[in-house]
Structure 1
Amino acid sequence: MKGDKNLWILVFICVINSMGFGIIVPLLYDYGKKFGLTGQTIGILTASFSVAQFFATLLLGALSDKWGRKPLLAISLAGTCLSFLMFALAQNLVMLFAARVLDGITGGNISVAQAMVSDRSTPEDRAKKFGILSSAFGFGFVLGPALGGLLSKLGMQVPFFFAAGIALVGALCTFFFLKETKPGVEQGTTSEETSTGNNGGKATGSQQSKTNHQKHKFSFASLVTSLKIPVVGTAVFVGFLLTMAQFIMIIGFQTFSVDELKIKPTQIGLLYAGFGITGILMQLAVPFITRVISSKAVILLLSTAVCLGAMLFTGFTNALIPFAACLFIYGLFNGLRNPMLNAIIADRSDDNTQGEILGVNQSYASVGQALGPVAAGLMTAVSIHAVFFLSAFFILMGFLLTFRLKAKEKQTT
């Protein structure tokens, strides 16, 4: 781990990438008001990013299996840089939507980063490395909003230009410092150059390349076929349910904090940061947890059970202290979700299709990110407390499926 320079370079890239996203999210509504953005259209603007990301993650993951992780990651970061520049220079609402769609398309770099970690990991340390990567994303999300608030004092466009700048830094770091991790794809070489050159029944480099491209021909049918893969399909669907539950909770958190608790924006920001920090702390504890409990499915089962209890109690709270306590407990144990699910999926994916499978997983997460806020918005018509119960319902569904995941894990083992 200490000698894995590629991992730490990737961590740095993930921090600045997620920090750029975190910088602009709290400012979207205020910035867009001058272009006619309303309380209703902000939801559509947010969903446009997730919908675009849904299609992009699957495609970029599959392409990274063919062409290598490094070029796809560099291109996607460059696209993110361009999207932030478009946002800063926007003159109308259409340009804002175009910028968010472009950012969603290039936001598929998450699955590529996960594939790079998986390429150089063993089943024993995979969960640990995914925990470090998740912590990097989480740290950027916690730091970004605070930094965006400070930069906005210099002008509303300044945070977007800054986000574009750090995305460019990420692209340059990928190009100059990150090493390719995809097996069979080496920097500065091609399949023809690495072939043995003899005719003793072996395929030539060009034949191998052609076969590889045919094998990884992209198809959206993989969204369905991946769900049929033992263990992997169940893990992907569990991830979708738990992601949807989290984004329902986020809408409930915002509305409950403002309408019920009536706390100030500064306090809301501290609560949000605390939620993110608790998740990071748990992700850093993944190495210790996996030493104590060897089964990743059991860890996921226990953490989901705690999240379910915390979310149910949140629905009954009416005061700040118990609300914050439930939120922090949920954030703490929810931090185990992605490291465990990504490790389970990667452990049971073929080396040549890991990028595509992780892309499928992220695509379903993007669907959850888009549907969650919509469902929460509809539920607020019933009551704000009902939003938390809806989130608990999806956690319960994920919890029950985790039993199936545990049973399948034993069968395949």
Structure 2
Amino acid sequence: MSSDSQYQDLTQQQNAFRQPLSVWVIAFACVISFMGIGLVDPILPAIAKKMNATPSQVSLLFTSYNLVTGIAMLITGFVSSRLGTKWTLVVGVFIIIVFSALAGNSNTINSIVWLRGGWGLGNSLFLATALSAIVGLSASGAAKAIIFYEAALGIGIAVGPLLGGELGSISWRGPFFGVSVLMAVAFLFLLFVMPNVAKPKKPIKLSAPFKALSYPGLLTLGGVAFLYNFGFFTLMAYSPYLMELNERGLGFVFFGWGLLLAITSVFVAPRLQQRYGTVKSIISVLSIFAVILLVMGIGSSVPVVIMACVVISGFFLGINNTLITTAVMESAPVERSVASAAYSFVRFLGGGISPWLAGKLAEMFNPSVPFIFGGVMVLLGVLFLAVRRKHLAGIDSAINHH
């Protein structure tokens, strides 16, 4: 790579972090929201033990959260275009505060599963709106704003398990209360620091996300994410049971995973996109992720193999996250919030089915089957993208233009 293009890359990353205060406030809330995803990872085995539950029962914590998040994505544009960006974010964060605190107070696995669903509703209102708000309020253009958003995502996903491990080593309830307290801080920031953003002139219809999915480019990316999420959430929801670590140990493993995810999403993904193009880069990183899952399947009885594979996968998942999110924003001629919601609906459906299915496959067969199944689904995602790549022919020029 020439020194000129390296200088351009560095400038692009620096520009991504020069943002108005309102964007930093939303990013802070994003960090905490994404901490909520990884925060429960280190306590999954502890919850299973305390409540005499099987891994597939405990994995319903992910299933209810992801299913409700995905389905509720369909109403986020409808709600945010009427409430306005600020108040949609505030309502979403408030719902997360209430349901995470209630989950921490629960005594049965079923009640936690249902309360995680309520948490998912808050999460969907917050996430779909946050991404479009960061892009809309950013001073640096869409592509750089997405790098900034992915940086927040990466930090949240990295720090979440670390904090979850520390709080979880005190009590399995700790991480739930931790999210509630941190989100209360974000709530105050949003309420008092974030400016009101003008509502769109035309309110978004309930049918808008479905219409957006009629665009082949967006549907292609949604389909790829649906399939690769089977691998992603098998890794998130099932691998903790095989590492034979305590809460703190699991926290450190997922911290390493999240750290690599954060670094590559910000510094590696934009370079790959510019050098090789979006589609080729996604195909490459997802193919490697599929191989990592297959290795986890073969080595499922060796804790060190599972730990190493989880951490290494973060490198490739970080690249993939940024590439797909950036492409989604340019893949259909609709509002960015609508594109984000439509894509997230399809993606989270995969994330809803896969954690429960991973636990079930392990119970029915053996611990290697969930990873092999996840790897095959990721490869199907690669195949789906390769077959439909013509629908994303202009995506790189659209991204680079912005």
Do both share a fold (TM > 0.5)? yes
Q: Distance in 2 between matches of 1:140 and 1:48?
A: 21
The alpha-carbon deviation at position 106 of structure 1 amounts to: 0.7
The alpha-carbon deviation at position 270 of structure 1 amounts to: 2.8
Instruction: Judge conservation of contact 1:64–1:355 (CA < 8 Å) in 2.
Output: no
Percent sequence identity is 19
Within 5 Å, give how 1:26-37 maps onto structure 2. Answer: 26-27=42-43, 30=46
**CA deviation string 1:108-149 (max 9, x = no partner):** 021111111332469x95344323322322322332333234
The answer on 1:238 being equivalent to 2:224 is yes
SS of the aligned residue for 2:393 comes to helix
Cross-structure match for 1:112: 129
Cross-structure match for 1:386: 369
Cα 1:405–1:66 change in 2 (3 A) is farther
Cα 1:320–1:125 change in 2 (3 A) is farther
Cross-structure match for 1:103: 119
Aligned length: 376
Q: Distance in 2 between matches of 1:63 and 1:411?
A: 31
**Which has the greater radius of gyration?**
1
The runs of 5 or more residues in structure 2 that have no matched partner are 1-14, 398-402
Q: Distance in 1 between matches of 2:105 and 2:27?
A: 30
Q: Distance in 2 between matches of 1:138 and 1:46?
A: 19
Within 5 Å, give how 1:47-126 maps onto structure 2. Answer: 47-90=63-106, 95-108=111-124, 109-120=126-137, 126=142
Q: Distance in 2 between matches of 1:396 and 1:156?
A: 35
- AA aligned to 2:18 is G
Which of 375, 391, 396 is residue 357 of structure 2 equivalent to?
375
Cα 1:153–1:343 change in 2 (3 A) is closer
Instruction: Judge conservation of contact 2:238–2:358 (CA < 8 Å) in 1.
Output: yes
- AA aligned to 1:396 is L
- AA aligned to 1:375 is L
Instruction: Judge conservation of contact 1:293–1:299 (CA < 8 Å) in 2.
Output: no
Cross-structure match for 1:166: 182
The alpha-carbon deviation at position 345 of structure 1 amounts to: 1.4
Cα 1:112–1:322 change in 2 (3 A) is same
The runs of 5 or more residues in structure 1 that have no matched partner are 186-190, 192-208
Cross-structure match for 2:6: none
Cross-structure match for 2:267: 285
Q: Distance in 2 between matches of 1:146 and 1:293?
A: 34
The alpha-carbon deviation at position 25 of structure 1 amounts to: 4.9
Q: Distance in 2 between matches of 1:89 and 1:308?
A: 38
Cross-structure match for 1:218: 206
Cα 1:330–1:146 change in 2 (3 A) is closer
The alpha-carbon deviation at position 283 of structure 1 amounts to: 0.9
Cross-structure match for 2:192: 176
The alpha-carbon deviation at position 37 of structure 1 amounts to: 6.1
Cα 1:255–1:280 change in 2 (3 A) is same
Cross-structure match for 1:41: 57
- AA aligned to 2:380 is M
The alpha-carbon deviation at position 49 of structure 1 amounts to: 1.9
The answer on 1:269 being equivalent to 2:251 is yes
SS of the aligned residue for 1:336 comes to helix
Cross-structure match for 1:409: 392
SS of the aligned residue for 1:384 comes to coil
- AA aligned to 2:158 is V
